[in-house]
Structure 1
Amino acid sequence: MEYERRYQPNEFYYFANIINPFPSFMRQLYFLLFLFTFLCGQALAQEGWLGWKVGEENRKWKSFSSMESRGLGLDSIVNHYKREGYLAAFSKEEKRNTDSLWISIDLGPAIEKVNLSSGNLPTNLVKNINWGEKTFVEVGFLIDQILQDSENDGYPFASVQLDSISRTGGGIEASLNYDYGPLITWDSVKVNKQNKTSEKYLQNLVRIIPGTPFSEKQLREAVKVIDRSPYFKSSGYPALTFQFQKAQPTFQLLERNANVIDGIIGFLPNENEPGKLLVTGQLDLQLYHLGGKGRDVQVSWQRFNELTQSLAINAKEAFIFNSPLDVGGNFSLLKQDSTFLRRDLGVIFGYRVSPNFYLNFLANRVASDLLATFGYRDVEELPEVADYRWSEYGISAEWDLLDDVIAPRRGFKLGVKASAGNKRILENTGLPEDVYTGLDMNTPQYLLHLNWEKHVFFKPNWGMFLGGAGGWVQNENLLLNDLFRIGGLKSIRGFNENFFYASSYAYLNVEQRLFFGENSFLLVFLDGGILENPYFANSKERPFSFGAGLNFETGSGVFRFIYGVGKSSQQPLTFSQSKIHFGYLARF
């Protein structure tokens, strides 16, 4: 291996400070002595020099750290010419000194064409190969491909040589002589001791199964999977140990600061008490990779106004019973002022199809009940809010092609969910019995949801974020407490959290970002959408908003400040209705 030492200016500076108390001529003397010692050290550090020429062509000298590495370098040079068709190429020593060697390379006649046959090449490696006349470079590429296929099928020490060589004019005829070498299978994976990640979890993640044939391609894919993990990333290519015909990889992992505490405080105009502010809030606690086993727990609390609050709890256990399935559960509670209470309880089974594609199967039970019925005593038909139960079953998928899981600059991400189930309306004794007469109490309900984001990177300090979402829910007896909730910091900014109800919606977020750090940037944004609410006189709404903000990364988290102004049929475009959100997202 070749080493190159470059002198660092601070070394001279450090030495100058040491000799500063001495007279000028002494400083010069010590400086020359130091420089001589340094240059001698440089010369001693280079154990071997190699120079060579091919015909009249002169080559530059190359330095090597040892005599052994110089010998390997010489073999590499000669083999380079052999691969180009000079099979008789050999090196001839011209001059040898204590620390240098000068050689000349005699190429001999070039082999222009090779009439190649398969020889003893195994049948599984012969597929899709066109035999016959080839250039010598093509033969080299073919042999490389055979060796690559072998190392991906359990034979990393396989070898291929030309055999039965005979001269035919300017070319040769030859066949391939293939040697399998020993069959190598996978052993269990190892993780560097400084990392908390369970070796069993990592083995399930990268899908390296002990006893299966070794594959170099599988090892490269494992590195890609690791680098896409939100928990850790690789610090280099894994080390391989071969023993007793088994290959054991040792992965060097660097843990990411994946855990999150995110708190946001909002100051909104108090609609019930004009002239005063209403303080709202949000708290997210996300704990990832607990115990080093891919176990996640997330808790989210929000307060939208004086009487409305929500709570969501999610948990996931990875590779349940060492199977490829992840199992998760979720619970959410929404209290909408004094109108209704909604509870969701569900279970999710997840499967990672590929490093970029994740599939979920879900089952969910939704229950919603009226909190107050006094205002509905005299209604003649089912009101917009009612008691119901919905058994939801569905599937969701996520494609993640972002370049970084935490602070992406490029790439695309897409999530899709589709579900269906039976919804049953319950009779509430606080409502007149007549509202349920002739009503189909059991009906199918369908739901579709989509979200996406795109990151574009123009220059080192300039990028763009594009994102959006859409949803659709359908039922014969669609209620207000069935509808999607849109608006706020994570959807259409410039409005209160969950400001809009929608049976169908789509919105787009556009941000221009001016970066001054890896995840620090100034932004200006424009949000716009279209949504439909069957319970509003103006059933179709086209809200939009604009504003600016700051995302500032510190050593242990991210500070966020967003200012937005929005307009809709329910909110005029005025700065008195503007929304300010700020908070600190701490990672640990």
Structure 2
Amino acid sequence: MKSLFLTLVSWIALGQSICHGQELIRVEWTAVPTSKVKLIRDFNEKEESKKITDSLSRVFQAQGFLEGFFQEKPQADTLLLLWNFGRLFSWEKVELEGIPEDFLRSLGKPGSHYPDPYLWIDRALTHAENQGLPFATLRIDRLTISDSLLSGVMVFDAGPRITWDSLEISGDSKTDVRYLQQVSRLTPGGIFSQEQLLKAAQTIRRSPYFSLSGEPELTFQTQQARPIFTLQDRRVNVFDGVVGLLPNENESGKVLITGEVDLQLYHLGGKGRDFSLNWQRLNIQSQALELKAKESFVFRSPLDVSVGFSLLKQDSSFVNRSFEFDFGYRVSDDGYLNFFNKRQAGDLLATDDLSLDQELPSSIDYRWNQYGIGLDWDKLDSPVSPRRGSRFQGTFSLGNKRILQNTGLPEELYSGLEESSAQYQGWFSGEKHVFIKSSWGMWIRGVGGFLQNQNLFLNELYRLGGLKSIRGFNEKNFFAKNFGYLNLEQRLFFDQNSFLIVFADLGIVENPYNSPKIDRPFSFGTGINLDTDGGLFSFVLAIGKSSAQPISFSYSRIHFGYLARF
């Protein structure tokens, strides 16, 4: 009997404990004292309710209800926490002591209402941090209370004025300190600014050459601040070999193997020096070569200088060459502006079969000297493998074109042709990355361009088509005076940089030497990008249709390659 009694008592105690643990805690308040609209939040744990009551208390006290508090009212199985406003305090007078005049000009004077002095203090201390005074203090002293009116003296102590020391790099990055100094814009001897430090960290995180590990550190010594950045070099150097299998148009039933070599070397010597080489074999007789080199912050100025050379041999018809000289300047963390001078030259290769023609051939000998401006606005979340964000690029150039008379063609063919005339062109590209789920994303890109002159010839036109523009066609298959195309791509991720793709490309191309002049190519297909320890393997199968190519598996294009990053 005694045992049964003890067991019963134990169960009752346990039941009371459980019931107490399940007590509801209700927090109730109104936005203003006169409001009849009650705001209610329910909690099962007192610690959770304390977070919101502490937060609300701070908000109301900042509004001037210094005596406000939460009153506890137990009700059955509910603990009611009800806010009582109390008196509303306001400031009668705030005197200023030692506050610099430039602070008052920038921020204005503190008002007479209660929140203003303390909000003004927060803004003033932030302003001080960005004016070389990170150790400044600002307090209200000699506080007096008369009824619900407050009076006090706002006292400012500037502390030592801090300037920037040279920055320091930790980690195993090869980055040169002087290069990072230019990128960060933290000039030794300049006034310390917390805001400037945060912007520098953001800029460094977006660098294509290296990443920032953690937050930057600061050390202070002899009134100087030394920022320390821990950097990790990215694997951005590229060696890319691509092989394409195409139907051989010269020998029926056989396959033509085309190729491309892409070498990109970045951040050479840790100074932002870049070099790239791209070679393509488009078909049996056609090849293309591009060389580029860039030097960042030339002579420690904010300018980048780059040079480029390209050559295109189109079977036995013509050869094009161009040389470009470019100045670039970072206008912001996202924007890059460049000015360039480009000289293009085109020459006919064989004129024997053209000498008896009664009109000029579609290609011609010319020289074009142009001056232009370009903009790159990059809001992508990563310079290497973006998942979110957008990017816009565009160029516009204007110059004088001269048509040269070829001695292999009859002189009368050039009669009435303007030897020298103005010519201009523009190009733009906009892309958007959409991250829908952890394993699903989309990539959308639109590209367009135009070329304007009263006498345009085939070897001056834009060239597009292939893996990097409109897939499902030979590389540089289309000649275009004006063009536009849209890339739509669904990506199914199964790793950070590995994904399956399903895509469609839609384009419009104007070629005055084609019939019809307006072509509307489109393509679709699938592929895979596979990220490995050594690099990126890609495989794409595309089927395209244009006015010159029917939609058929026999005209499908297979591109596969291996992009090695190191």
The 1:59–1:513 alpha-carbon spacing in structure 2 relative to 1, beyond 3 Å, is: closer
Q: Secondary structure at the match of 2:284?
A: coil
Deviations, residues 272-303 of structure 1 (Å, cap 9, x unaligned): 11111100011110000000000000000011
Pairwise mapping of residues 547-562 of structure 1 onto structure 2 (< 5 A)? 547-562=525-540
Instruction: Report the counterpart of residue 406 of structure 1 in structure 2.
Output: 384
Instruction: Report the counterpart of residue 337 of structure 1 in structure 2.
Output: 315
Are 2:450 and 1:472 equivalent residues in the alignment? yes
**C-alpha separation in 2, matches of 1:577 and 1:87:** 80
**C-alpha separation in 2, matches of 1:264 and 1:181:** 62
Query: What is the aligned counterpart of 2:180 among 196, 199, 202?
Result: 202
- What amino acid is the match of 2:113? K
Instruction: Report the counterpart of residue 346 of structure 2 in structure 1.
Output: 368
Q: Secondary structure at the match of 2:202?
A: helix
Q: Report percent identity of matched pairs.
A: 50
Are 2:363 and 1:385 equivalent residues in the alignment? yes
Instruction: Report the counterpart of residue 145 of structure 1 in structure 2.
Output: 123
Instruction: Report the counterpart of residue 133 of structure 1 in structure 2.
Output: 112
Instruction: Report the counterpart of residue 261 of structure 1 in structure 2.
Output: 239
Instruction: Report the counterpart of residue 503 of structure 2 in structure 1.
Output: 525
- What amino acid is the match of 2:228? T
The 1:533–1:59 alpha-carbon spacing in structure 2 relative to 1, beyond 3 Å, is: closer
Contact 2:172 2:233 in 1 (8 A): no
How far residue 481 of structure 1 moved from its aligned partner, in angstroms, is 0.7
**C-alpha separation in 2, matches of 1:516 and 1:184:** 49
Are 2:90 and 1:113 equivalent residues in the alignment? yes
How far residue 124 of structure 1 moved from its aligned partner, in angstroms, is 2.0
Instruction: Report the counterpart of residue 6 of structure 2 in structure 1.
Output: none
Contact 2:504 2:525 in 1 (8 A): yes
Instruction: Report the counterpart of residue 181 of structure 1 in structure 2.
Output: 159
Query: What is the aligned counterpart of 1:291 among 252, 269, 284?
Result: 269
Contact 2:66 2:89 in 1 (8 A): no
Q: Secondary structure at the match of 1:212?
A: coil
Pairwise mapping of residues 65-80 of structure 1 onto structure 2 (< 5 A)? none
**C-alpha separation in 1, matches of 2:63 and 2:452:** 68
Are 2:562 and 1:587 equivalent residues in the alignment? no
- What amino acid is the match of 1:112? F
Query: What is the aligned counterpart of 1:248 among 223, 226, 234?
Result: 226
Q: TM-score, normalised by structure 2?
A: 0.84
- What amino acid is the match of 2:437? K
**C-alpha separation in 1, matches of 2:371 and 2:212:** 37
Pairwise mapping of residues 300-311 of structure 1 onto structure 2 (< 5 A)? 300-311=278-289
Query: What is the aligned counterpart of 2:146 among 163, 168, 185?
Result: 168
Instruction: Report the counterpart of residue 357 of structure 1 in structure 2.
Output: 335
Contact 1:390 1:424 in 2 (8 A): yes
Contact 1:512 1:525 in 2 (8 A): yes
Q: Which moved more, 1:375-384 or 1:286-295?
A: 375-384
Contact 1:111 1:171 in 2 (8 A): no
How far residue 183 of structure 1 moved from its aligned partner, in angstroms, is 1.0
Q: Secondary structure at the match of 1:134?
A: coil
How far residue 83 of structure 1 moved from its aligned partner, in angstroms, is 7.7
How far residue 475 of structure 1 moved from its aligned partner, in angstroms, is 1.1
Deviations, residues 480-520 of structure 1 (Å, cap 9, x unaligned): 01100111000000001011100000000001111101111
Deviations, residues 131-175 of structure 1 (Å, cap 9, x unaligned): 333335x53332111101110111111110113432221231123
**C-alpha separation in 2, matches of 1:444 and 1:359:** 24
**C-alpha separation in 2, matches of 1:129 and 1:328:** 47
**What is the number of equivalent residue pairs in this alignment?**
495
Are 2:322 and 1:347 equivalent residues in the alignment? no
Contact 1:368 1:387 in 2 (8 A): yes
Instruction: Report the counterpart of residue 228 of structure 1 in structure 2.
Output: 206
The 1:373–1:156 alpha-carbon spacing in structure 2 relative to 1, beyond 3 Å, is: same
- What amino acid is the match of 2:488? V
Q: Which moved more, 1:195-204 or 1:141-150?
A: 141-150
Contact 2:92 2:151 in 1 (8 A): yes
Instruction: Report the counterpart of residue 463 of structure 1 in structure 2.
Output: 441
How far residue 115 of structure 1 moved from its aligned partner, in angstroms, is 3.7
Contact 1:116 1:131 in 2 (8 A): no
Q: Secondary structure at the match of 1:119?
A: strand
Query: What is the aligned counterpart of 1:488 among 466, 481, 484?
Result: 466
Q: Secondary structure at the match of 1:272?
A: coil
Pairwise mapping of residues 16-55 of structure 1 onto structure 2 (< 5 A)? none
Q: Which moved more, 1:118-127 or 1:418-427?
A: 118-127
Contact 2:446 2:487 in 1 (8 A): yes
Deviations, residues 167-209 of structure 1 (Å, cap 9, x unaligned): 2212311232111111111111111152210000000001111
**C-alpha separation in 1, matches of 2:92 and 2:396:** 58
Query: What is the aligned counterpart of 1:432 among 406, 410, 433?
Result: 410
**C-alpha separation in 2, matches of 1:319 and 1:284:** 26
Instruction: Report the counterpart of residue 547 of structure 2 in structure 1.
Output: 569
**C-alpha separation in 2, matches of 1:346 and 1:408:** 29
**C-alpha separation in 2, matches of 1:303 and 1:391:** 27
Deviations, residues 417-450 of structure 1 (Å, cap 9, x unaligned): 0001101111111000001122210011101000
Deviations, residues 55-114 of structure 1 (Å, cap 9, x unaligned): xxx998xxxxxxxxxxxxxxxxxx9999897999xxxxxxxxxxxxxxxxxxxx998323
How far residue 353 of structure 1 moved from its aligned partner, in angstroms, is 0.6
Contact 1:506 1:530 in 2 (8 A): yes
**C-alpha separation in 1, matches of 2:94 and 2:189:** 34
Deviations, residues 190-235 of structure 1 (Å, cap 9, x unaligned): 1115221000000000111111100000000011000100000110
Q: Secondary structure at the match of 1:203?
A: helix
**C-alpha separation in 1, matches of 2:59 and 2:452:** 68
Structure 1 runs not aligned, ≥5 long = 1-57, 61-78, 89-108
Contact 2:245 2:258 in 1 (8 A): yes
Q: TM-score, normalised by structure 1?
A: 0.81
How far residue 130 of structure 1 moved from its aligned partner, in angstroms, is 6.0
Q: Secondary structure at the match of 1:380?
A: coil
Deviations, residues 35-62 of structure 1 (Å, cap 9, x unaligned): xxxxxxxxxxxxxxxxxxxxxxx998xx
Q: Which moved more, 1:392-401 or 1:160-169?
A: 160-169
Q: Secondary structure at the match of 1:518?
A: coil
